[in-house]
Amino acid sequence: MTIPSVGTSDTSASSQSQATRPGTGNAHPLRTVVAVAFVVATLFTAWIPSGYLPEPPPEPTYQIAAITLEPSAIPPTIEPRVGIVSGHWSKDPAYYDPGAVCAEALGGVKEVDVNHAIATRVQQDLLQQGYQVDVLEEFDQKLFKYRALSLVSIHSDSCEYINDEATGFKVSAPLSNPNPDNSKLLVACVESRYASMTGMQLHPGSVTRDMTHYHAFAEIDPDTPAAIIEVGFLNRDLEILTQKQDLLADAVTAGILCFLRGEPVNLPTPTSEIAPQNAEPTGVITETISSITPELTATP
Ligand SMILES: [Zn+2]
């Protein structure tokens, strides 16, 4: 996920979910029955002496306690908004950045296209769940002080053949964060769901400084839980990254929903601690995810 140090762009894609309305039909026969019953009951109560009428039900004696939120108690994020950074993506051609690029023998696949295909699918998945979803550019101006229920950046790993271990995915939270627990939980949720739904292996050994010190982490509002995922290696995982993008998006979505809904998490077991060399063209392996993985129960 080599990222240029400069870049700017205009606003990101933003969408809102749209509720569907069932078509209107003819009046249901039940309405006619109810209407007739109402007329008959009205005539009956008009006829009988008032002494036979039951006492009206007493007013309920309970009251719903009024809830008054103090300004400080109002959640900072009221909108059910989720941000997805489409790795390397920019709407401005002047800042075009393909990310990792595969050789012609591997179809010339560009990382930015894989990332964007998955990001937009995640957006559609979350829209269907009733969330407002921003698909953000890599250096989107919206990222500054960005507030949302969560932010996940989607990247893919190198298309160079590194070694046979260079397969799988990895997720990282900001290394430094004033509110680290939420981001750790977000990472745990994404790791858990992505592993179980895609069958891909967690590959924490190659979490790079590019991930733990990801630029957007320092730009967004510190109260926004955030994570970055490398969804797979473009070399050894090329097939699933290009042929199963719906599945990968569903898995990322499930991870985000796991976090938003507070679902239980079983962490996948890392199968490889061997860090591939030069996993990212500029990546320097300085951190491992073990230092930031939440203390949650790992599933053997
Ligand atoms: Zn990338």
Domain spans, the chain: 73-291
Q: Report CA(282)–ligand 1 centroid distance (Å).
A: 10
The model's confidence at residue 143, banded by pLDDT at 50, 70 and 90, is very high
What would the mean pLDDT of 36-47 be, rounded to a whole number? 44
Please write the tens of the pLDDT for every residue from 60-84.
433 333 333 343 444 444 579 999 9
Write down the mean pLDDT value for the chain: 75
Q: Report CA(184)–ligand 1 centroid distance (Å).
A: 21
> Does 58 score more than 90 pLDDT?
no
The model's confidence at residue 130, banded by pLDDT at 50, 70 and 90, is very high
> Does 53 score more than 50 pLDDT?
no
- Give phi and psi for 206, each to the nearest 5: -110, 20
> Does 49 score more than 80 pLDDT?
no
Q: Report CA(260)–ligand 1 centroid distance (Å).
A: 25
Q: Report CA(101)–ligand 1 centroid distance (Å).
A: 10
Q: Report CA(268)–ligand 1 centroid distance (Å).
A: 23
Q: Report CA(32)–ligand 1 centroid distance (Å).
A: 63
Q: Report CA(58)–ligand 1 centroid distance (Å).
A: 67
Buried b / exposed e along 177-205 (16+ C-beta atoms within 10 A) = beeeebbbbbbbbbbbbbbebbebbbbbb
Please write the tens of the pLDDT for every residue from 87-126.
999 999 999 999 999 999 999 999 999 999 999 999 999 9
Domain 73-291 sits in which CATH superfamily? Zn-dependent exopeptidases (3.40.630.40)
Q: 175 or 297, which is more confident?
A: 175
